[in-house]
Amino acid sequence: MVDCQIMELRVLRYFLAVAREHSITRAATALHITQPTLSRQIAELEEELSTPLFQRDNNRLQLTEAGLRFVQRAEEIISLTDRTVKEFSSKQTDISGEVYLGCAESSGMQIIADVARKLHKRFPGVRLSMQTAHATTIAEQLESGLIDFGFILEPVDIVRFDSQRLPHRDVWGILLHRDHPLAGQAAVTPEQVAAQPLLIPYRPPVISFLSGWLGKDLNTCDIRARYNLIYNATLFVKSGQGCAITLEDLVSTAPDSPFRFVPFSPQLTSQAYLIWKKVRFFNPAAQVFYLTLYQHVRKLEAALDSPGNKG
């Protein structure tokens, strides 16, 4: 195990420079240090990690498998450190800075967009930095401190995080080509879905969630492809290679669109949450983002509970 107290940030920057340049000589020039100094630092790093990080291939330094993994970890550490320095060096008289958010694909992101609009009016120096990812990646980024909040959908284990339930549920169904025989139906049953060639999300918790609705293991169906983000899957649907199991409103189904969305029957939905790491110290920008979201959610919930919306 790496002793993070021993490893210096300077050495991580040296390592990343060599990984980028594929050369000790070029990296040393870019870093304004001597080649022997850089060679010695990389050798000491490899000794500390007890594994080689580079191998020579046709006069170029290539990362080993361990080196490839360490690049990601080094970049995360440097990114987190740079953010921390930036936060504590900025003036606190006016609240400004970036709020880092990991986002699932969902029409519920409209809530975040509305919050961002309100936030900008009061704190124009606060900006959102958003990355679209699935819940597993978002959880890992939260644990690593790379993002402040995660916008996620069920199914997901949120016990180890603090969370805010949002007034939004996404509807599951299938995305079809408009010429598909099922495209004109109001809904599709588990039997109809199981009989189709399918493009499905690849995350195991989602597969288990969908299998519960289907009444059988989704993996036993005719699976043509697994996807992360829906755009690439739409190209398969458009070319007639199958139906994509997805959420409503992620793809345009306007009259001139080649796609149609048909919801599941019985209905299957996923609850939306905002999550963040427990015992997390937020910078002022993240604090005002959360307070603005909290107030916005309270207003939405009050509107939904009003007599005009009951019945």
In a domain, 30, yes or no: yes
pTM: 0.70
Q: Is the pLDDT of residue 6 over 60?
A: no
Residue 1 confidence (pLDDT): 36
**Average pLDDT, stretch 261-288?**
91
The total number of structural domains that make up the chain: 3
Rounded to 5 degrees, φ, ψ at 227 are: -135, 165
Both 206 and 242 in one domain: the answer is yes
236-249 tens-digit pLDDT:
999 999 999 999 99
Residue 15 confidence (pLDDT): 92
Q: Is the pLDDT of residue 181 over 80?
A: yes
Percent of the chain with pLDDT over 90: 65
Q: Which of these ranges, 70-74, 104-108, 217-221, 301-305, has the smallest mean pLDDT?
A: 301-305
Both 178 and 233 in one domain: the answer is yes
CA geometry: angle 122, 128, 134, nearest 5 deg? 140
Pairing mode of beta strands 97-103, 149-153 = parallel
Q: Is the pLDDT of residue 91 over 60?
A: no
Both 174 and 228 in one domain: the answer is yes
User: 87, 113, 140 — which closes off a domain?
Assistant: 87
In terms of average pLDDT, the best of 48-57, 251-260, 274-283 is 251-260
* CA-based nearest residue to 75, from 19, 135, 37: 19
CATH number for the domain that contains residue 108:
3.40.190.10
CB count, 10 Å around CB of 264? 21
How far apart are the two ends of the chain, measured CA to CA in Å?
A: 59
Both 177 and 264 in one domain: the answer is yes
Both 183 and 173 in one domain: the answer is yes
Both 137 and 286 in one domain: the answer is yes
In a domain, 40, yes or no: yes
Cβ(197)–Cβ(243) under 8 Å? yes
In a domain, 105, yes or no: yes
User: 61, 87, 113 — which closes off a domain?
Assistant: 87
**Average pLDDT, stretch 242-263?**
96
Across the chain, mean pLDDT equals 89
In a domain, 2, yes or no: no
Both 163 and 276 in one domain: the answer is yes
Q: Of 160 and 249, which is predicted with more confidence? A: 249
* CA-based nearest residue to 100, from 136, 147, 162: 147
Both 30 and 176 in one domain: the answer is no
CATH number for the domain that contains residue 37:
1.10.10.10
**Average pLDDT, stretch 22-43?**
91
Pairing mode of beta strands 149-153, 198-201 = unpaired
Q: Is the pLDDT of residue 186 over 50?
A: yes
CB count, 10 Å around CB of 57? 9
Q: Of 47 and 172, which is predicted with more confidence? A: 172
Cβ(42)–Cβ(52) under 8 Å? no
Residue 85 confidence (pLDDT): 60
Both 142 and 222 in one domain: the answer is no
User: 48, 65, 87 — which closes off a domain?
Assistant: 87
Full domain range(s) for residue 234: 169-269
In a domain, 78, yes or no: yes
Q: Which two tokens stand for residue 74?
A: 């080094």
**Average pLDDT, stretch 170-177?**
98
Both 140 and 281 in one domain: the answer is yes
Question: Cα separation of 259 and 145, whole Å?
Answer: 39
Find the length of the chain. 311
Q: Residue 4 — very low, low, confident or very high, per pLDDT cuts 50/70/90?
A: very low
Question: Cα separation of 218 and 193, whole Å?
Answer: 10
Residue 3 confidence (pLDDT): 39
